[in-house]
Structure 1
C-alpha cells in the first residue's frame, strides 16, 4: 500500500524488547504478565510481539480483538479484561481461556455455557478496593462467591482474585492498597482450602511497585499494556526513567498541507468552535503557521501529542486539521513535509482504533 497520512509507524522489534524487559523484571518478583493489547486495537502483529516477548497471557477488554488473535493461530492463553455481559458468555468460553468477573449471575451463566461447550473456563474474581469500577465491595460476599465457584461450578476454575486501580477513581497502587488484595486472597484460600494460582494486582500503574521493589509478596500477576507499548508514560506522568526501554514503539507521522504567516488571534466576532467550546487565544502578532492533515477524529486531544521538533507549538485542531506555530523552529517547513510525534496512551489508543490512520509495521533496531 502506498504511504498515506496520517500514519502510525509501529516498531515490533522495540515492542518485543520492551515486553522482554517488563516480563523479566516481573519474573524476578515471581509475577507473571498479561500483555494487554487493547491499547493497540488488538492488532495481531502487536499481540504476536508481546507473546514473543514472553508475556504469559494476552489480554483485551474487546472480544473481537481476542477472537482475531485466536484466529491468527497465536496459542498464548487469552484473558478477557472487561467483566463479561450475560449476552456474550457463549462466545467468551469459545474465545478466551480466562476472564475477570464480578457478578454471581454472570458466573452461573458462564458455568452453564462452559459446560455446554465441553470446556473449563478460568475465572478471576475482582475486588473493588476503592477505585469504584468493577469488583465486589463487600469482601464477605466476595469470599462466599469464590466458595460457590470452587464448590458448585464444575465448569469453572477459580484461578484467582484481582483488582483494578487507577483507571476510574485514580486511586494509586500503593503497597498498602495492594496488600489489601493479598489479604482478600488469603481469606479466599482459607475458605477453599487451597492456594490460588493468580493474585492479579492491577495494570501498568502497579508496575511502579515492581520498579520500586515494594510490591507486596503474594501479588503473582499484573496486566500490563501501557508500560510495554508506551513506557514514556511513566516518565512523563510519574518521573520514572526509561532504563533501557524504547519510547518509539509508536510514532505518528502527519503531512503538512499549508504553511503561511497569519495572525495569532482570530479576526471577527468570536463564538464557539466546532465542538461547542470557547478556546482562549493569545495575541502574539503574526506567526508562521503550519496546517497538518489530521485532527480530533484521529487522535482525540491535541494536548497529548508530543512533537519530535521541540521548537514548535501545537495551537489547536478541528476534526481534520491540526494547527502548529513553527515561528521559532530552526527548520523551514514546506507543504508535503512529514511531521513526527511521540505519543502517550490516550492518543495512541484513538490512533490505533482509527480506520483513517494507516498502520505501518517495521522490525528495526
Structure 2
C-alpha cells in the first residue's frame, strides 16, 4: 500500500516558530487544521500542550473536524473558519467558540441556538474586499452591524476578510487598511470595541514580515505555512520553517518495457486520464512502471518528484502509470525494479486528499 509520511516534529517546530513570529509582531493567530480533516491521530500528534499554548484558537471548516478537536482536547478554543450553514447553528454553537459570518439570517439562528444553550457565541463578521468570496458588501456594513449588535447572545469580536483564496486577490496594504478604517467607523458609530481585525492568512505572512501591513491588523488564520513552511504569496519558504514535512511513497507493482503508442481502436470508454501520445513513434518503446495509487487517492498534478526522467503516462481509479525511460543508472545498472518505491512530494491539496483516502497508509515520523 502506498504511504504518506508525516514529519510531525517538523510541523510542531513550524507552529512554534510562527507563534514566536506573531508574538514579535503583536498579532494573535488561529491555527487552521482543515488539511487534516479532523484526523484524531494527527491532532493528538501535533496539538500537544507545548504547541498550542501560544495559539489563540484552532480552526476548521468542517463540523466533524471541530467535534474531533473537542474530543482530543475539550479545553481548546475553536473557531469555525467559514460562514456556517444556517441549519447547523446548534452544532456550531456547541462545538465552536467563534465563527466567521456574513449572513444575517444565519447569525440570528446562531443567536437562537446560543440562547437555548445558555451561551454567548462570538463571531467575526467578514467583509467583501474584492475576492468575491464570503463577505458583507461594503455599502451595507453599518446597517449589518447595527442589526447584529441588537442580538442578545452574539458577541461581535472582530471584522475580517478573506483574500487570495479564490481569485488570488493580494492582501495589499490598501486592502487591509480598509478593514482598519471600517473597524474605526463601526467603533465610533456604535461605541463598540472590536477586538480583532482578522485579515491575515498564509499569503499575508511575507507582507507582515517586511512591515507592509497596517499595524492595526492583529489576527491571522494560518494553515498552509504552518504545515508546509511556504507562503502561497510567492510559493517560497517562509523564514526558517521546515518545508520537507510530507513525503509520499508509492510501490512499483509492475515494470515492463512497452510501446509508447497504444495498439488498437481508441474509444471514449476510458475511465482514466492519459498524457498526449505521439502517433509517429508507433515502434518506439520505453520502460513503464505501474504504481499502487490512483485518482481516488490524489490528483497527479498535486505531486512532484526529484527524478527528472519520470513522466506521466496515465491514471485510473486505483493505479498510476509512469514512464521511466530506459530504466538505467549512469553505470548501466537497472534503476528500478518491482517492489521499489517512488518518492513524491505532495502539495497542500495533495496531502488533503491523501489523508482522506482510506487506501493510503499514514505514518508519523517523530524526529526532526
Q: Same fold (TM over 0.5)?
A: yes
Deviation string 1:283-330 (CA, Å, 9 cap, x unpaired) is: 66311111101011101x212201243442233322111112222663
Residue 201 of structure 1 aligns to a residue whose secondary structure is: strand
Residue 83 of structure 1 aligns to a residue whose secondary structure is: coil
How do residues 285-296 of structure 1 correspond to structure 2 at under 5 angstroms? 285-296=284-295
How far apart are the structure 1 equivalents of 2:164 and 2:303?
A: 22
Say if 2:43 and 2:72, in contact at 8 Å, map to a contact too. Answer: no
How far apart are the structure 1 equivalents of 2:182 and 2:340?
A: 56
Unaligned runs of 5+ in 1: none
Larger Rg: 2
Q: Which residue of 2 aligns with 1:22?
A: 18
Say if 1:253 and 1:341, in contact at 8 Å, map to a contact too. Answer: yes
TM-score (norm 1): 0.90
How far apart are the structure 1 equivalents of 2:94 and 2:235?
A: 42
| From 348, 356, 360, the counterpart of 1:357 | 360
| From 179, 188, 191, the counterpart of 2:189 | 191
Does 2:131 correspond to 1:131?
yes
How far apart are the structure 1 equivalents of 2:308 and 2:27?
A: 38
Deviation at 1:264, TM superposition (A): 2.1
| Shift in CA distance, 66/312, structure 1 to aligned 2, threshold 3 Å | same
Deviation at 1:166, TM superposition (A): 1.9
Say if 2:274 and 2:314, in contact at 8 Å, map to a contact too. Answer: no
Residue 166 of structure 1 aligns to a residue whose secondary structure is: coil
Say if 1:35 and 1:225, in contact at 8 Å, map to a contact too. Answer: yes
Say if 1:8 and 1:351, in contact at 8 Å, map to a contact too. Answer: yes
Unaligned runs of 5+ in 2: none
Deviation string 1:256-292 (CA, Å, 9 cap, x unpaired) is: 1011111222223334473586752246631111110
| Shift in CA distance, 232/306, structure 1 to aligned 2, threshold 3 Å | farther
Give the aligned length: 356
Q: Which moved more, 1:116-125 or 1:347-356?
A: 347-356
Q: Which residue of 2 aligns with 1:257?
A: 253
Q: Name the Cα RMSD after superposition.
A: 2.2
Q: Which residue of 1 aligns with 2:296?
A: 297
How far apart are the structure 1 equivalents of 2:87 and 2:131?
A: 26
Does 2:336 correspond to 1:345?
no
Q: Which moved more, 1:287-296 or 1:199-208?
A: 199-208
| Shift in CA distance, 60/274, structure 1 to aligned 2, threshold 3 Å | farther
How far apart are the structure 2 equivalents of 1:90 and 1:259?
A: 54
Q: Which residue of 2 aligns with 1:248?
A: 244
Say if 2:126 and 2:161, in contact at 8 Å, map to a contact too. Answer: yes
